[in-house]
Amino acid sequence: MQGARAKVDWLTVTWKPEPDELVNLQSFELLTAWLGGSVVGEDSPGLLGYAHGCRFYVVIHGTPVYVARVDWGGEHHGGRARLDLTASACGRVRGWAGVAAEVGRWDETKLTRVDLAVDCLMGEYTVEDARDWYLAGEFHSGGRRPRHSLIGDWLDPHYGRTINVGRRENGKMLRAYEKGRQLGDSASPWTRFEVELRNIDRELPLDVLTNSDAYFVGAYEALARLLDCSALRIATDQAEGEIALGSLVTYQRAAYGRLITVLRGKLEAGQVLDLLCRPGLPRRLEKSSLTAFDLIGADALMQRFAGETHQELIQ
């Protein structure tokens, strides 16, 4: 097995900063180094009993996209601080060894949540496989079958299904869900398997960030099957961007395609764009754009939509 294939998809870490430490400034500098791009911070009320908070964004095409927050201060947590890296932030990190090394230097560091994800872009394994493994007892822990739940349109699949195994209150759970359908492509076979680990009755070591495969497989026996099918991260990120953008284009064509045709009868193409454009990113594109939007070439987009356009013309 060459290289890690399970990727970190969420990270929460707490530590005890020095009394005079500027936690928000330190976090800003670290996020700038880890994520690159134009990071901005915004003061926010503290959450979960902390006295102070700060939210961080990465500016993409002029739009701030939320990536992380830090909370600190107050007596409730004994002077500790808490940093959350969202899935959007984790998708932008290219050097987890550096993150682990830096976090390891902090005083009284504790990882409190780490999500590890493996993607089956071509549906090599599916939510139905996860259901079958559950029924076969392959998620048992200590001889006991963990709790589970089924979410979504299992009776008539179209918009996406999820199976949850375990409970986050116990420190470990699996989410297997139809990622492509969640993003709006009802024909997508893309399934994501995501393990959420918390420091409940266990300690999460720093090498979970750099040896992610071992911890992903170690969570449940059934997951050892998945690693050979997992996609490289750049392929996964590009797929997410293409599906999200594709869904938006399809919707906009249906809603406003005829209007644009009418406008083009009176205006030049550039004038139509000037009339309809406004700054910012669609919310659905915010996450995928962090790592994938600029990877999508014009040829790939035209190939994706050419068939749909042809079908519309002959209907």
pLDDT band at 176, cuts 50/70/90?
A: very high
The pLDDT value recorded for residue 213 is 92
Q: Where are the alpha helices (DSSP H) in 123-268?
A: 127-135, 179-182, 212-219, 233-264
The pLDDT value recorded for residue 46 is 96
The pLDDT value recorded for residue 63 is 82
Higher local confidence (pLDDT), 214 or 246: 214
The pLDDT value recorded for residue 103 is 96
CB 116 within 8 A of CB 216: yes
The pLDDT value recorded for residue 38 is 85
The pLDDT value recorded for residue 312 is 44
pLDDT band at 1, cuts 50/70/90?
A: very low
Separation of alpha carbons 54 and 75, rounded Å:
18
pLDDT (mean) for 139-166: 91
Where are the domains positioned within the chain? 233-314
Cα–Cα distance list, 111 to 45, 86, 100, 215 (Å) = 23, 14, 10, 14
- Of the candidates 128, 130, 143, the one whose C-alpha atom is nearest the C-alpha of residue 225 is 130
| DSSP secondary structure letter of residue 232 | P
Quick check: 250 pLDDT over 70? no
Q: Which two tokens stand for residue 111?
A: 């990882």
Question: Quick check: helix, strand or coil at residue 116?
Answer: strand
pLDDT digits (tens, 9 = 90+) for 125-135: 999 999 999 99
pLDDT digits (tens, 9 = 90+) for 12-43: 999 999 988 999 999 999 999 999 878 999 99
pLDDT band at 294, cuts 50/70/90?
A: low
